[in-house]
Structure 1
Amino acid sequence: MNADFRKILVLGASGLIGCFITHDLRDRGFPVVGVGRKLTASQKTDAFDLELPLMSMKAAALTKLISDHHIDVVVNCLGVLQDGPGSDTAAVHRDFVTRLLDAIRASRRAIRLVHISIPGSNETDQTAFSTTKREGERLIAQSGVAYTILRPGFVVALAAYGGSAMVRSLAAYPFDLPAEEQATSFQPVAMEDIAATIAWLAVRDSTVANGVIWDLMQEEPTTLGGVIDQIRYAFGTHDWPRITMPSFLLDLGAKLGDFASLFGWMPPMRTTAIAELRRGVRGDPAGWINATGIKPKTLAQMAGKYPATIQDKWFARLYPIKAFVIASLVLFWLVSGFIALVISFDAAADILRSHNFPAWLVGPVTVGTSLMDISIGLLIAFRATSAFGLIAGIIASLGYMAGAAILTPDLWIEPLGALVKTGPAIVLMLVALLTLDNR
């Protein structure tokens, strides 16, 4: 079959790997249908970029998708790190794979399934993330469908998300991981090598490299500390004096990340991420290299070829700070509203009385503004409503400033400068709003 007519379906086209693969394969001349639950405007660059509720689609709907688009190769890039609101590792890694296999068989087409998994083995799988990934692999191996399972190492790409963003941030700051974590085996792979492998498979009959599992990673062993050090050379931070963080700080950060996930956020530092980091990333790429002839890029070629740009540096420095910005704004609005409503209600009401507010309005205005502040804090706290909460916070702050200028202008020159400090708070909310995007 001519490669120009071998059509590829990429599931999870909004993710780090899926997005890159979708566009890379198109650049190579393959017709590609990219499917994601939600695609950003920048990701929807083709008529065949589709937004579909994959997790709720039955096998029959998946069969229709495959048949209607005359798919020859299915690339499954779907994955979630940890169970939580809106995330179910078993549903994504096992249940969806079951429906996908049923759909491929029902299509009665000679389809090759390329499944993106993770390095490791049953003996080292300890988290729901890794155990359900391995369950998906077993289902595929027993399905009778032509398949190739790819197990990429630590993925290095121009873009950064999740763990890769966290590693870049570590390289941008004068902090070292604890010695045990630094020494963890951490074999990387270039995103381009993953895409080249899928392109190699796509031009070959589904009987070639059928039923194989390949580890995709550089041959030379390295550690997590080695990966971070290489990125430091690109950032120009390799000769900075550094402070080694204690292990308990990683565990505390993971617990806080788990707590944040209850509000719909997906921080890279969660208990699963730390557990997988401590397990390490290791494998044997010999089978992959011998079969495809692809010579994997080394870490130096991936991360140290060019100096980091100012965009890289800003992102790496701001990425961990974003969590503190959101958390501080949530506390700012919740605490200020709570204090005015409960602890200092009389003092807040007295401010209005002293400026000749109608007595019948003092109570309702004090209660109303306090509840509004608390509501804004709650809106910012939840990822789904955070943008709305930040916009509401900016508008409310501007309203407070304008109202004070008209009704209580002397508050602008009061000793603690409460209203003057509202300006920086508005700027901070604007920064949070502009950095909300994850992809």
Structure 2
Amino acid sequence: MNEQPTPRILVLGASGLIGGFVTNDLRRRGFTIIGVARSLADRQGVSPDDLELPIMAMDVAALAELIRSREIGVIVNCLGVLQDGPGSDTGAVHRDFVVRLLSGIRESGRAVRLVHISIPGNAADDRTAFSTTKREAERLIAASGIPHAILRPDFVIAPAAYGGSAMLRALAALPFDLPAKERATPFQPVGVADIAATIAWLAARPLEESTKAVTWDLMQAEPVTLGGVIDRFRLAFGTARQKRIILPKFLLDLGVVAGDFVGRLGWLSPIRSTAIAELRRGIRGDPRSWIAATGIKPLRIDEVVGRSGASIQDKWFARLYLVKALIIASLALFWIASGFIALAISFPATTAILTSRGWPDWFAVPFAAITSLMDISIGGLIGFRHTAAFGLVAGILVALGYMGGCAVFTPDLWREPLGALVKTGPAIVLMLVALLTLDNR
């Protein structure tokens, strides 16, 4: 009997939490993998076979050619966004792209199995654009007649941390806790390794009736709560006995407002209205059909998080995750406020510092105005995600310029009682910290 040839696998969203792990895991198992993402430069384990493509902008013909030219037998769709915002459209990513992908598979003329990563739960409980568009994609795939497997993992725990998983680690590492109602939310987590194992199991099998069209809930069989997941991380971080402050509901709601606001600036905060809405409704699923079909025994939460404890790198990340947001916000406000005060409130005093040292008015006044506007601009650049790196570098250079310029032209300012110039040094260090921790994944 001839052995079934191993199909070539196309992973869409290969730079994400699930997609990145799946790409590397399947490659280690011996599959031929082509990972596709908008940007792969920062992901570990990038192969020459991986592609950087504007996947969301590709039309049906381009998708069909990609599938045909690369001789793809399995497509794993890990694309997804949590909430609408600049550069993120749930309908475009979850529904419209799936429509084009299904047409592209048909036009490619190849027998392709589509493995689609979705979410568990009942359609009747869907309230957010995230969940409703995910469910629309499921219906489109089920009605397409294309061989498919819709995988519906609950809360995914991976070695890497991003978004909600990073948020739970931060809560576990710091002396804070969620309100009782949120802690009691039903959770059935799944290890990302179990998702990769399921995809490998599907890819190794022919397109037979028993696996031609399946929908499986992927999660551990034993029910857990959100609080239970956080407590498991606390055991790993060594903070289980730490006294904690329960965050009041109004503070959590205020964080949601702030998260939605910074989302408009390009920052993907894990505390946004969609994330909290999905968390508060809670999700249960039934993994029995998945376990029975594949024979995979899902790892429990204590096995996924690990019994040996967290590394020092894990602890540093978790402790700094929320502090990073405070650093960015404080630096943006620091530059904007300092420029605004100098320009609009204390401009005569600002220019007097220069004129008292012999600078002529015709030079001191525009110089003070320009530097004040420059400070405000730096704060604005830091506030927007896509320009934050440029703003931080500019802030460091400008601050060094201020310190050096004062040393040459107004050295007496270094003896100023409040030590304004001396305090610029720690601000530079803080901007360097922000710059080095700017990456999200």
Equivalent-residue separation in structure 2 for 1:258 and 1:304 (angstroms) = 33
**Cα deviation code 1:292-311 (max 9, x no counterpart):** 00000001111132211110
Equivalent-residue separation in structure 2 for 1:124 and 1:2 (angstroms) = 45
Give 3-state SS (helix, strand or coil) of 1:307's partner: coil
Aligned to 2:133: 132
Amino acid at match of 1:192: A
**Cα deviation code 1:95-139 (max 9, x no counterpart):** 000000000111111100000001111111110000000000000
Match of 1:339 among 318, 327, 341: 341
Q: How far has the Cα of 1:284 moved from its partner?
A: 0.5
Alignment of 1:21-100 (within 5 A): 21-43=22-44, 45-100=46-101
Q: Is 141-150 or 35-44 further displaced after alignment?
A: 35-44
Amino acid at match of 2:331: L
Equivalent-residue separation in structure 1 for 2:73 and 2:146 (angstroms) = 12
Q: Report the aligned-residue RMSD.
A: 1.1
Q: How far has the Cα of 1:366 moved from its partner?
A: 0.4
Aligned to 1:190: 191
Q: Is 159-168 or 35-44 further displaced after alignment?
A: 35-44
Q: How far has the Cα of 1:250 moved from its partner?
A: 1.3
Aligned to 2:102: 101
**Cα deviation code 1:248-281 (max 9, x no counterpart):** 1111101100000111110111000000111123
Amino acid at match of 2:140: L
Mapped contact 2:189–2:220 kept (Cα < 8 A): yes
Equivalent-residue separation in structure 2 for 1:423 and 1:56 (angstroms) = 45
Amino acid at match of 1:304: G
Give 3-state SS (helix, strand or coil) of 1:123's partner: helix
Q: Is 34-43 or 400-409 further displaced after alignment?
A: 34-43
Equivalent-residue separation in structure 2 for 1:63 and 1:381 (angstroms) = 40
**Cα deviation code 1:204-245 (max 9, x no counterpart):** 012242221100000001100000001100000001111111
Alignment of 1:227-242 (within 5 A): 227-242=229-244
Mapped contact 1:120–1:281 kept (Cα < 8 A): yes
TM-score under structure 2 normalisation?
A: 0.98
Q: How far has the Cα of 1:407 moved from its partner?
A: 0.6
Amino acid at match of 1:368: I
Aligned to 1:306: 308
Q: Which runs of 5+ in 1 are unaligned?
A: none
Mapped contact 1:79–1:93 kept (Cα < 8 A): yes
Aligned to 2:396: 394
Equivalent-residue separation in structure 1 for 2:389 and 2:42 (angstroms) = 17
Amino acid at match of 1:214: W
Amino acid at match of 2:425: G
Amino acid at match of 2:101: L
User: Is 1:181 matched up with 2:182?
Assistant: yes
Give 3-state SS (helix, strand or coil) of 2:289's partner: helix
Amino acid at match of 1:16: L
Q: How far has the Cα of 1:2 moved from its partner?
A: 5.1
Mapped contact 1:153–1:216 kept (Cα < 8 A): yes
Aligned to 2:262: 260
Mapped contact 1:3–1:30 kept (Cα < 8 A): no
Aligned to 1:118: 119
Equivalent-residue separation in structure 2 for 1:279 and 1:63 (angstroms) = 39
Equivalent-residue separation in structure 2 for 1:54 and 1:117 (angstroms) = 18
Match of 1:435 among 428, 434, 437: 437
Equivalent-residue separation in structure 1 for 2:333 and 2:426 (angstroms) = 16
Amino acid at match of 1:282: R
Mapped contact 1:2–1:203 kept (Cα < 8 A): no
TM-score under structure 1 normalisation?
A: 0.98
Equivalent-residue separation in structure 1 for 2:252 and 2:139 (angstroms) = 33
**Cα deviation code 1:126-184 (max 9, x no counterpart):** 10000000000000001111000000111111100000000000100111111110001
Aligned to 1:158: 159
Q: How far has the Cα of 1:4 moved from its partner?
A: 6.1
Match of 1:380 among 379, 382, 393: 382
Mapped contact 2:339–2:376 kept (Cα < 8 A): yes
Aligned to 1:281: 283
